Structure 1
Amino acid sequence: MNPKNISINEVLRHSMHDYLNNMHLIQMNLDMGRQEEAKQLIRMYSQKCAQFFDLNNIGLLKTNEWLQTFPITYGHMTLEVQTTIEKYGAKKYDTALNGILDQFVQSIYPRLQGYQEQILKVHISSTELLEILIEVQGDWTPYSWIDDSGNELFNMERLSNREGNLQFKLVAKERLE
């Protein structure tokens, strides 16, 4: 399972396909008289758009691009993103964060087991410090990835490495401005 390189056309095609699928799902719920389900879908899609703009606004442009193209690049995994944005000024962390996320996924991707649903969860929080909680489900007990050698912008902390999940946190070494 190797990640593939993607073109701008593929990204746009994928985005349009998702957009149409989302609109059809809302329309189907409305046609079936399921108003609350349609409203919930609209809230969910609106939240995803807000997260996109939040990440751009705090300066994580490359990281945001990586997250947005994740489903195309790493088709055997599902990505769930959450954001809690209070402070801005995270631009200096962007390249390092993008690299860490990509390096981590590239290291686990060949180890994915096809019979299990593989979910990568990324929660980006910018309160006083930029913090990123990363969790992947699956049996990762024999796997140890955490490597903070040479990383001058983030501290890495292993939170869990057991059957069922691998979880670690990145914490910026300096406060956000």
Structure 2
Amino acid sequence: MDHNEITLNEVLRHTMHDFLNNMHILQMNIDMGKPEEARALIQKYSQKCNQFFDINNIGLYKTNEWLQTFGIKYNQLTLDVQTSLLNRKAEKYDDALKDYLNRFVQAIYPHFRGYQEQLLKVHIISDEFLEILIDIRGDWSNNKWQDELTGELFQLQILETTDNSIKVKLIASGRLE
């Protein structure tokens, strides 16, 4: 699949499929007399929706679109998004962040093995500065992901690199004002 081109129909089909699966899981928990599990799922799904709106509210529209369509493009990799968003006005970093995340995943994705779980965690923090923590786990060998340039808007801090893990932090070059 071309990792850059996704049709609106593909997005809607994927969204409807996920929605229907989630409703079936909720119904199954209710039918089995497990209201606490059903409530926990509702909380999980609500949190995901709130994160979507929060990311948009700080001005990361294109990054948010990339995150929301991630599962369609990269089905061998599970994405876990976390947010700690206190400050808005991150829009000037949107294109650069989306571009960096896309290049990072495209650089490492061909090295994944489909028979093992691969997990990508992205934690977006907007306080005084915009920071993005990227933590990826899987069984794959090192490659040239570090050669990717972060550009003028981000500084890259490498926290860990092994054959099974990469942890990096992107820090915006300027304060969020």
Q: Describe the SS at the equivalent of 1:135.
A: strand
Gaps of 5+ in 2: none
* Cα distance, 1:33–1:158 mapped onto 2, change above 3 Å: same
The more displaced of 72-81 and 139-148 is 139-148
SS in 2 for 1:151: coil
Taking the TM superposition and a 5 Å limit, the aligned residue runs for 1:27-176 are: 27-140=27-140, 142-147=142-147, 149=149, 151-176=151-176
- Could you tell me how far 1:145 is from its partner in structure 2? 2.0
Give yes or no for contact 1:80–1:119 (8 Å, CA) kept in 2: yes
Distance 1:150 1:64, change over 3 A: closer
| CA–CA separation in structure 2 for the residues paired with 1:70 and 1:150 | 20
Aligned-pair identity (%): 58
Structure 1: distance between partners of 2:150 and 2:134: 20
Match of 1:114, SS state, is: coil
TM-fit CA distance, 1:98: 0.3
Q: Deviations over 1:22-78 (max 9, x none)?
A: 111111101111011000000000000000000000000000000000000111111
Root-mean-square deviation (Å)? 1.6
* Alpha-carbon contact 2:111-2:141 (below 8 Å) kept: no
Structure 1 segments unaligned to the other structure (5+ residues): none
| CA 2–138 in structure 1, closer or farther in 2 if over 3 Å, else same | farther
Structure 1 residues 2, 115: closer, same or farther in 2, change over 3 A? Answer: farther
1:54-106 per-position Cα deviation (integer Å, ceiling 9, x unaligned): 00000000000000000001111110000000000000000000000000001
* 1:149 CA drift (Å): 4.1
| In structure 2, distance between residues paired with 1:82 and 1:41 | 17
- TM superposition shift of 1:163: 3.4
Deviating more after overlay: 70-79 vs 112-121: 112-121
CA deviations 1:131-163 (Å, max 9, x no partner) are 000111124553352246461110001110013
Contact 2:29 2:35 in 1 (8 A): yes
Q: What secondary structure sits across from 2:36 in the alignment?
A: helix
Provide the rounded CA distance (Å) in 1 between the counterparts of 2:45 and 2:92.
29
Specify the SS of the correspondent of 2:5: coil
**Cα distance between partner residues in 2 of 1:161 and 1:45:** 32
Counterpart Cα distance in 2 of 1:123 and 1:150: 17
TM-score by length of 2: 0.94
Q: Give me the TM-score of the superposition, normalised by structure 1.
A: 0.94
